[in-house]
Structure formats: structure tokens, C-alpha cells
Structure 1
Amino acid sequence: MDVQHLSAPSRATSGVPRPVARSGVVHANTRHTKCYTVVGNHLAQHRELTLVAIGLAVHIQSLPAGARIGIKCLTARFPESEARIAAALRELEAAGYLERTRERLPSGRIVTHTVSYNQPPQAVRRPEPVRLPAPEPAPAPAPAPTPDKPPPPPLPQPLSPDPDRHRVAADLLAGLRCHDPRLLLAERDVRRLAPGVATWLERGAAPDSVRRALTANLPEAPRHPAALLAHRLTALLPPPLPPTRTVVRPHPFQTCDRCERAFRAPEPGRCRDCGPAGRDAVGRGDSGREVPAVQAQFMLDPASGQNCQPLKKTHRRVR
């Protein structure tokens, strides 16, 4: 009994056989006595961290205090890129396993202090924001009243009625269907549109010009030919002709029959200085000397028997 048998088992085996796992992982654990790190399952089995973040957290927790864990140092240690390592550090910081603060030294250099937590502190639960009731939707503005369509402008009317011009206008409208079958007008439409055409004729437009203005560039299938013609008669109305100026021409030049001086007069004759052509025949003698011979005839006053008023003056020619 006092002899130690090293080959003997340390404890007696149970009579009940241990079940053997048919699938899945089988742990062959060995108790560590040095160079080990205790990691909680909350990190090793974290459901939101990526595999790179979990492995990086285990690596950081295994390092001694004061070790450098900058991105460039970790990139030099592991094959992952700087972008993946930086993303893993942000994941650990968001989950509470890392806390990084920056401090500016008196020299102006910025130093980053990193604290690693093997057990994340309880995150302070932020109060839920007060949900304000949704504002009631503003009432829809009342639809703006649709403005009434202004009535079409009235047809132009001639200044002075002229039966002949009105008849020409009516014949022009009635004959439009001969130039274009789409302009077949009813008799009442011809009577209604005739004053507008008469106004065009009154303003000097020729019938052919009016016809071209009414039939040019028609739509393919006009729905209301009379309304189309009324619009054109109103919108394309030509302005009235300007009043004709009366040009006053000066009298032509004439040559005086006596002194042969040039002067303006409507008919040939003598100039103003020479007087009319029959002046020498009255009041001149054979010698060319004018002899006034005036006899005054008086009216006799029946009461006094005296002459009271001259009647007329007569000239006699002295031979």
C-alpha cells in the first residue's frame, strides 16, 4: 500500500461510458500555466463583430501595457490592409472594447491614448428621444377658381355701309369652298362674317388678298371653319390706308405777251405789271394818251327838283 505506482490512474474511472460526439468540434483542452490570456465568450462569440475585429481584440488584450497598436504597426504585423484594420478598430470602439482619445502635447504633437477593455463597461443607455406627435397635415389649399374664358373679340365692322361692298364680301365667303372644300360655310355664317370681310375691302384690301389670307395654312381638319375665319378676320385685320395728300403744284411759267417777262400763271397772257390784254383799247386816244371823260348822271328828287345822287359813271372815247 505504501508503494506508489506511477502507472496507476489518478482517479478511478466511472463505470458509465462517456458519450462520443458524432459531429461538431471536439475540445482537447490543456490547462495553461503561463503565457495565456483569458477571453470572455462575450467577445469570442460576439454576434455583431466581424472575425477580423474579434481576432484583433484578442491580440490587443494579449499585449502588455504600453505596446503600440497603431494602424501602421498592426498592418506590419498582420497581412490585412490598413482599411480592414481601421474598420475593425472602429467596430471594437463602437462595441466598447476600445476607447481612443486624442491629446495635444505642449509641443503641438497629437498623441492617441488607447484603453482596451476585456469586459466592456455598461453602456449608458441614452434616453429615448421624445417623440413629438406628427403635425397635422395642412389643409389642402382650395383650388383656384378657373378664370372664365374671355369671349372672342367682336368682328370688325365697316365705318360706312355699302351694299355693293357687302355683296362682294358675301360672295367671297360663299365661294371659299371652291378654293378649299374644308371652308364650306352655312348661310348664317356667311351673313355673320360678311361685315368683317367688308371692313377689309373698305381698308383697301383686294378680294384676292382677302381670300389668300383666309385660306392660307389651314389646319388639316378644322372643326369650326366659321370660328377660324372669324379669328383671322379679327387678328389679321390690316390697318386703314393713310389719307392721300393733295399736292398743290405751282402754276407753270408763262411768257408775257408784251414785255416777254417770265411769270407763273395758269394760262398764257400778260404779267401783273403789264396788266390785262384789253387795257389799251379802253380809255386811250389815237396818240396813246388816256383821256378820262366822266359824266355823272343824277337821280332827280321829285320833291325839290334837284339832283341828289349819282347813278353811274360812263367813259367816252375822245377821237
Structure 2
Amino acid sequence: MTPSHASDDAQHPGTAAGRWSDLDRPPLNAAALRRALVRDGGLYRSLDVVQSTGSTNSDLAGRADALPEGAVLVAEAQSAARGRLDRRWSAPARSGLFFSVLLKPAEVPVERWGWLPLLTGVAVATGLSRAAGVDTALKWPNDLLVTVDGEERKAGGILAERAGADGVVVGIGVNVTLRADELPVPHAGSLALAGAQGTDRDPLLRAVLRSLEQWYGDWRAAGGDPAACGLQETYAAGCATLGRQVRAELPGGRAVSGEAVAVDGDGRLVLATAEGVREPVAAGDVVHVRGTG
């Protein structure tokens, strides 16, 4: 998936140098990751690491009907990664975590599947906070925020897409060691720039996938009810969008502004407008208006 622009963009391998060209960015240890994460009775059934691909989401989605739930595909670099609205994003090879997971929540009503990107955001934020020792927040619906030099920066993002007859591919991208001179846009960030205590990608990936396994299992056991499994409350507690003045740019060119006051049971962002109306936003770009809390 994506990050820098976390939820929007594509990674490029950068130079064509060998895999050890940047000793600060060693490759992931696929065998060790499989030993740690793929086990009987667990969510993850396979875990593959490739040096480069176009998009891990596209790769898994293309094989969704033939793969079991819990297939994980990790790329050291992507050349055609996508975020929401087909935005592109770029980052040097091995500078982040770029991976996708195939989920098949058959026992959850389809109308509750819209919680999957928000659930994944909670899982990523909690896993990284624990493993990297860096404060993270979520921007509705799918961006991971960190603080760099007192500024809110986008360091990761999530893209969930329907795949095959009964699946959803969740793509995750997180900038880990991206340096200031490598940022694709000024408002991008990385865990390293946010002062992370640890930037070894192997334990970070293990922490995120274990967190996702736990949150997904609880959500699925609750039949997808976000309140019953604690997801709705946890998302709201970690959501930097709530309590802010925002502008939501909606599909079709319409925009609505107001204070973000809640995330409802369907995962929609509820805005209180100046006209006294509470308007739920299901999809669109949300801009945090500067100068507000």
C-alpha cells in the first residue's frame, strides 16, 4: 500500500543498486517472520517477502479466490503502490513497511466491512506505539500521523479493497527510516523523524501484524459490532480528526465544513456544521483546518 503520503502514492525502488547498497536499511528476514507469525490456529497462513513489485494490494487481489485468509505479501519496494483515489506515493527501497493482508470475514455482515480500514489503523497505531516508542494518531479515515518538529505529519496509510468473491485486501504502508531529504512532500514524515526508539523493521512488522490479528479476531468474534469489541471507542480515542474544524471534500465535487464530533456506528465521520446540522461523511478527503485545536 502506501505511506509518505501514507494513504496516497507509490513506492519506487530508487536506484538499481544491490540489496546491500544501504547498510542502514537491511532486508527483512522472511524466514524469521514466518516462524514468528505463521502458526496453527492463527490468522496468518503464509507470509512472503519480495524484493520489488508493482503493488502488493494488486498482487493479492488478483489471486484472492485461490488464496486462504491470512495470506501476507510484503515488498521491499513498490513501483505502482496506490492510496485512496488512486494517488501515488514514493519511498526508497527498504525505507518502510509496505505490505498487504488478505481477509475473508465471512461471519461478519458485509455492511460492517467498512470498519476494516479503521480497524487496521487502530492495529497499526497501537502496534507501532508499542514497538517503536513513538506517539501516533489517526486521521480519519486511513492515515497514520506522527509529530515531527512540533508539526503533524503523515507517516503511514491504509487502503482496503474488495477482492475476489468474498475477500478484502488491506494494504498498509509506513515510512520507517525516511530522512528529511527523501520526503516526497513537506507534510510527509517517518518514524525516524518522529524520534522513534526503534526502527528495525522486523520487530515493527511483527508488532503490527500481531496487533492486527488481535483486533481483527475480536471484531470478527463480535460479528463486526465496533462497539461490542471496543473498536469504536479505541478509534475515537486515537483519532486526531475529532474535535477539529475540518473540511470534507466529497465525491461529486461537494464540500462540507464543520467540527468533527464523532465516528458513528458505520465508521462515518460526523460533522457539526455552522448551520446546526450533523452530517455524516462516509467517503472523501478530510482536511484539518489549520489554526484550530
Higher relative contact order (CA 8 A, sep 6+): 2
Taking structure 2 as the reference length, the TM-score comes to 0.17
For normalisation by structure 1, the TM-score amounts to: 0.16
